[in-house]
Structure 1
Amino acid sequence: MTPRTVLRRLALTAFLSIATAFWALPLLWLVTAPFDRRPGLTVSWPDWTLENFQRLAENPYAFSSLKNSVILAGGSMIGVTILAALAAYSLSRVRIPGRNALLYGLLLLSSIVTGTAAMVPIFQLMFSLNLIDDRSGVILVFIGGLLPAAIFILKDFMDATPKSYEESARVFGASSMQVLRHVMLPIVRPGLATIAVWTLVNVWSDFLISYILLRDPAKIPAGVVMYTFYSEGGQANLPLISAFSLVYALPVVALYLFVNRRYGFRFHGGIKS
Structure 2
Amino acid sequence: MTPRWMLRRIGFYTLIAVIMVFFAIPMLWLATEPFDRDPGLTAHWPRWTMANFAATFHNPNVGSSLINSLILCGVATVVTVTLATSAAYVLARVRIPGRGAILYLLLLLSSVVTGTAAMVPIFLMVYELGLINSRLGTAVVLSGGLLPAAIFMMKDFIDAIPPSYEESARVFGASSRQVLTQVVAPIARPGIATIVVWSFVNAWGNFLLPFLLLQDTGKQPAAVIIHTLQDEAGGVDLRALPVFSLLYSVPVVVLYLVVNRRYGFAFHGGIKG
State whether TM-score is above 0.5.
Answer: yes
CA distance in 2, matches of 1:9, 1:115: 41
TM-score (norm: length of structure 1): 0.97
Q: Which residue of 1 aligns with 2:196?
A: 196
Gaps of 5+ in 2: none
Report the AA paired with residue 42 of structure 2.
Answer: T
User: Following TM superposition, by how much is the alpha carbon of 1:231 offset from its aligned partner in structure 2, in angstroms?
Assistant: 5.9
Aligned to 2:14: 14
Give the 3 Å change call, closer, same or farther, for CA 265–197 of structure 1 in structure 2: closer
SS at match of 1:101: helix
Following the alignment from structure 2 to structure 1, what is the Cα–Cα distance between the partners of residues 165 and 215?
50
3-state secondary structure, aligned to 2:60? coil
Of residues 192-201 and 261-270 in structure 1, the stretch that sits farther from structure 2 once superposed is: 261-270
1:111-148 per-position Cα deviation (integer Å, ceiling 9, x unaligned): 11113211111111111000000011101111110000
Q: Alignment partner of 2:38: what SS?
A: coil
SS in 1 for 2:219: coil
Amino acid at match of 1:64: S
Look up the match of 1:28.
Answer: 28
The answer as to whether partners of 1:37 and 1:46 remain within 8 angstroms in 2 is yes
Residue 116 of structure 2 is matched in structure 1 by: 116
The aligned length equals: 273
Alignment partner, residue 229 of structure 2: 229
Q: CA deviation at 1:199?
A: 0.6
1:166 partner amino acid:
E
Matching residue's letter, 2:69: S
Change (3 A) 1:8 1:70: same
**3-state SS in 2 of match to 1:49:** coil
Q: Which amino acid aligns with 2:206?
A: D
Counterpart for residue 169 of structure 1: 169
Calculate the TM-score normalised by the size of structure 2. 0.97
Offset, 1:55? 0.5
What CA deviation, in whole Å up to 9, does each residue of 1:135-167 have, x standing for no partner? 111011111100000000000000000011011
| Matched AA of 1:245 | S
* 1:267 Cα offset (Å): 4.3
Deviation for aligned residue 1:236:
1.3
The 8 Å contact of residues 81 and 195 in structure 2, kept in 1 or not, is answered as yes
Letter in 2 for 1:74: G
CA deviation profile, 1:179-205 (whole Å, cap 9, x unmatched)? 111100000001111111111111111
